A and B are shown apart, each in its own frame.
Chain A
Amino acid sequence: DQQVKQNSPSLSVQEGRISILNCDYTNSMFDYFLWYKKYPAEGPTFLISISSIKDKNEDGRFTVFLNKSAKHLSLHIVPSQPGDSAVYFCAARSGYQLIWGAGTKLIIKP
């Protein structure tokens, strides 16, 4: 049973527009959430995080929103750039572990 779900395997967005990646979770005990970005043949790299006591965190073009009542997390990228094409993973912290979603492949079209 997957505790962290990314229901969209892929997403295609026009360059310059907003990209919205979604993540749902089932465990209300998760206290910290992270987004990672992964290019082919490389390891994931950390992008942005949010504590469960907040509902928004912003870093440049990247904003993460947390809706605890809906157990829903989203990552907004504005404006989307060609270099944003990658697989994005959300992860949730539970104790000493991170529980990961399956990833969403973001494709930025010129």
Chain B
Amino acid sequence: EAQVTQNPRYLITVTGKKLTVTCSQNMNHEYMSWYRQDPGLGLRQIYYSMNVEVTDKGDVPEGYKVSRKEKRNFPLILESPSPNQTSLYFCASSAGGVGEQYFGPGTRLTVT
């Protein structure tokens, strides 16, 4: 089954404790992206990757890191989480650039 998986689905952590949210897709898609969703703001792009070893900032990259060492995986790293990073995070992938993206189920992160 074609899918994008994210782990964990829910995470509660404390300020400053490094964390990683994993994202994996099994569709051999070149393009992958991370978004955060906040009430009244829709989805905002954090980082995206056009292919292996090619990443670029989206609209809200501050406080986040990503890497793309393999085509299928695109982890999101929060080196020192802060309460303003409490949000719902989505990973997405698409074939051949930005178009119809397939989304993971989301990761709800709470930073206290």
State the A residues within 8 Å of B (CB).
4, 6, 9, 32, 34, 41-46, 49, 89, 91, 93, 95-103
- Interface range for B: 20 to 34
In the complex, 15 of the A-B residue pairs with CB atoms within 8 angstroms, ordered by the A residue number, are: A6-B42, A42-B105, A43-B90, A43-B103, A44-B90, A46-B102, A49-B99, A49-B100, A93-B98, A96-B48, A96-B98, A97-B58, A97-B98, A102-B40, A103-B42
- Take A42-B106, A43-B4, A43-B92 as given contacts and tell me if A100 and B100 are in contact as well, using a CB distance cutoff of 8 Å: no
Contacts of B92 in A (CB 8 A): 43
Extra inter-chain contacts (4) besides given A43-B103, A96-B97, CB under 8 Å: A9-B40, A43-B105, A49-B99, A95-B98
Interface 0/1 of B92-111, CB less than 8 Å to A? 10000111111111100000
A9 to B40, CA, bound (A): 8
Q: Are B98 and A43 in contact (CB under 8 A)?
A: no
| B11 at interface by CB-CB < 8 Å | no
Q: Are A46 and B56 in contact (CB under 8 A)?
A: no
A100 to B44, CA, bound (A): 7
Q: Which residue of A lies closest to B90 (CB)?
A: A43
Segment 58-112 of B: residues with Cβ below 8 Å from A:
58-59, 90, 92, 97-106
